[in-house]
Amino acid sequence: VVSVFSPARDLVISIRDSIDADKQSKASKDELIARIEALEAENEALNQKLGDYNSDMFELNELRDLLALSEKYSDFQTVGATIIAKDPSNWFAEFTIDKGLEDGIKVDMNVLWGNGLAGIVTEVGEGYSIVTSIIQDDMNVSAVSSSTRDTCIVSGDLELMEKGYVSLMYIHNDAKIGEYERVI
C-alpha cells in the first residue's frame, strides 16, 4: 500500500509546497511593491528638501553678496533691491527694481551691482524704480580714480557695449589713470 500511495502522497506534498511557495512569493511581491512605493515617496520628499536647500543656498549667497557690497560702500546709505523686470532687448538698457518712493529711492540715485555701478534711477513709483543701465549709449556719470583722485566722465558706448566696456572721457592730460585702475 505504501509503495502504491507514496508517489501520490509525494505529488500532493509537492503541490502543497508549490502553493505555499506561491503564497509566500505573492506576499514577498506585495511587500516589495509597498517598499518601492515607500522609497519613491521618500525620494520625492528628499528631492523637495534638496530643492528647498538649493533655493536657500542661492538666497544665502545673494545676501552675502549684498552684505559685502554694503560693507564696501559703508559710507553710503544702501537699500537692497531685486530686479523684477528687464528691457526685452538684448542690450539690457533698462530694468525695474522692487524698491521705490516708499523705500527712499529718488531719481538720479546710483544703482550698484557686483563690483560697481550698474545704472542710474530714471523713474520712481511707490514700490518700484526704473533704472537705466550705465552701458546705455546716452548715459554719462562723473567718476574719480580711486588711487589718484583724477576725475573723468564714464559714458556708455554702442561699440564698446557689446564687449562689456564703457568709455572714459574728459580725463585731464596729466592724469595717471592706468590699466585696471579702479574708477568710482
Q: What is the dihedral of CA 64, 67, 71, 75, to 10 degrees?
A: 160
Q: Grid coordinates standing for 136? A: 546705455
Percent of the chain with pLDDT over 90: 19
Q: What is the mean pLDDT of the chain?
A: 82
Rounded CA separation 146/183 (Å): 6
Q: Where does the pLDDT of residue 9 fall: very low under 50, low under 70, confident under 90, or very high at 90 and above?
A: low
For 129, residues 6+ apart whose C-beta sits below 8 A from its C-beta are 81, 96, 97, 99, 100, 105, 121, 123
The residues, any chain, with a CB within 8 Å of residue 71's CB and separated by 6 or more, are none
Nearest of 8, 127, 144 to residue 79 by alpha carbon: 127
Q: What is the tens place of the pLDDT at every residue in 88-112?
A: 775 567 889 999 999 999 998 988 8
pLDDT digits (tens, 9 = 90+) for 114-161: 667 788 899 999 999 999 888 777 778 888 888 888 888 888 777 777
Q: What's the pLDDT score for residue 122?
A: 92
